[in-house]
Structure 1
Amino acid sequence: MQNMNKVFELAQLGRYTLSNHLVMAPMTRSRAQQDGTPGELSAEYYAQRASVGLIITEGAQPSDDGQGYLTTPGIYTDAHIQGWKKTIDAVHAKGGHIFIQLMHAGRMSHPDNTPHHRLGVAPSAIPPKTGMFTATGMQDIPTPKALTIEEIKQIIQDFKHAAKSAIQAGADGIEIHGANAYLIQQFLAPSANTRTDEYGGSIENRARFAIEVATAIAEEIGADRTGIRLSPGTNLWGIDEGKEGPELYRYLVKELNTLGLVYVHVMHQGNEELLSDIRNLWTQTLIVNRPNHPREKIGHDLKSGLADLEAYGQMVLANPDFIERLKVNAPMNEADRMTFFGGTEKGYTDYPMLSQT
């Protein structure tokens, strides 16, 4: 419990005062309606967890092209805005804060999963060499379409429109998904980006798309409502950032810092030296998410000064009263992996509260 002193104190995040230093990490749940509008249980699910300082939602696609998986939510139509408004209002009614994550899947997509049934798009026509679950079962992901310069510029506008839509829905801000092998990280990785124009080759060129997306969104909704998630060293689905990877992230974080974004959210893959360098380069809020971080180490990065906020995924997913359980040192529910993606209220809104046990 010695790490817990700072955990429950108020935290400042840009214009917002959070009730504590803990964050609900974004987690795909695949329970939206077929048109991408958040499902009926979405408001209940997020409102149950509103006692964490900040909720970052599951990834919401900014366009038809941005969808990767079945029944993920969007944030680019009037129906999406109205659907998200119900969820956001429910979180705010509980005193919580919520950012919508904007996620463009890029090549991590299948035509059967998107509204227009087109090939996925990517920096280069290189498939991830993995499968994708569709309504008819697992299928190989086809080779994506390489984006033209004009199409890249349109995607930046799509991100900008989605961010504006999120604010119209009442969100406190947005998080750009630049991690986990999706479109922005595909631009960062030489294994997925073999372009020879201004978006490929050098570190500066491969970072350009991420910086332009962040710049456009910050100009649209304000830098103090714009965060970004990064996962340096992730090697999912054919992503390899190569020997220059750490230096690329040092450059990227330094450039993003000049924009004054409200936070960088690092999904940490184990390079402690790089994480320390990011801490030194980044002058705003740093959120650190360590996958499978043990409960007894909650608050450790806050205490050391490495992080300003700590993000947790499965423990918050399985424990709607995560904060209360920490405060009284109560046992945690175990997450049911079989119900992570798709389905009903089972494994979504039916995890028991302490008061029910």
Structure 2
Amino acid sequence: MASSIMPVILSFLFLVLCHPYAAVSSAGQAPCCYKRLFSLGDSIIDNGNLGAVNPNISALAFPYGETFFHHPTGRFCDGRVIVDFIVMATLLTSTDALRLPFLTPFLAGKTAEDFEHGANFAVAGATALSQQFFKDMGLDLAIIPPFSLDVQVEWFKRVLYMLGPTEQERKEIMSSSLFLLGEIGGNDYNHPFFQNRSFSTEIKPLVPKVIEKIENATKVLIGLGAKTIVVPGNFPVGCIPRYLTMFQSNDSSQYDAAGCIKWLNDFSEEHNHALRRMLKRVASSDPTVTIIYGDYYGAVLEITRSPQKHGFRKDVALTACCGDGGPHNSGTLFSCNATSVLCPDPSTHISWDGLHLTEATYQFVARGMLDGPYAVPSILSKCRY
């Protein structure tokens, strides 16, 4: 009797311990699905890189970090960001006792041990196009860091060679790791928008250039041996408080039923459609590679249209939690600081500071990417037990 039950028990234990939620123990045991996560992008997933080179950024001051860490960490959020939730995958319980450690920001790490479980190369304000491109465009570079996607890819190569001195080791690292490439490209549009550049003649024409940069980065990772890459699209910027304030209008035809600006969301969709076409083309060239599209747009649009269904307040769906008290509580680019108008419960808000989102929103997005329906295919569907 006992001998017949034992294989069943062992099979059950294998499924549990190798389930992607069974991240790692504090001893550093890697998950059975992906051994590491490497992420590139901007402030949506930056967990401290910009803060490592600029101690004066707003994300290093209260109330940033108030919800989870209870102190500022350099994340432009009240707590954790999307990449944090992806690596945290817990052991089928609410405890954090068994989890993959938060990724080390590249600019805060020094040794191979710092990047044992992966690394985060994302930098707040980063663009897909180079800083020089925007300099040539005549933009003020004050908030455009010199850490574009190409730079981040080069950083990754440095870490890869640090972790894998031999070609075989690097091949194993690449094939067993998950890559999160983005969101990147949003700032390529944000920066000229915020400097009052023409939408039709200067901003909209950037889309193919941005997509080309993302395509190049994707191909570089594949060339190095990556087998699973998640590439998210852009958010519905017409629902972002900062943009709602910038382009507020008395013309009701400008808005959809949720109160978002239609032409801005159309622009986000244009970027996302171009991105998906490119990813489909790249994926078709190598059947051994899985490229997962992350639908940030669909996830945020869902909670904006049906906030109460997902635990958010309908009356503040388009209002920043932390801001200056103006329209949508977001009258300036970065208005969140110790003197800001701060909501009592960030978990009921979609927007944190008018441009970035709350931990609750990022958790919703991450969950939808891990399990679906906001990733095609979902991240965890690609795991093999």
Report TM bin, short chain.
0.3 to 0.5
Q: Larger % of strand: which?
A: 1
TM superposition score normalised by structure 1: 0.40
Q: Larger % of helix: which?
A: 2
Larger Rg, first or second structure (1 or 2): 2
TM superposition score normalised by structure 2: 0.38
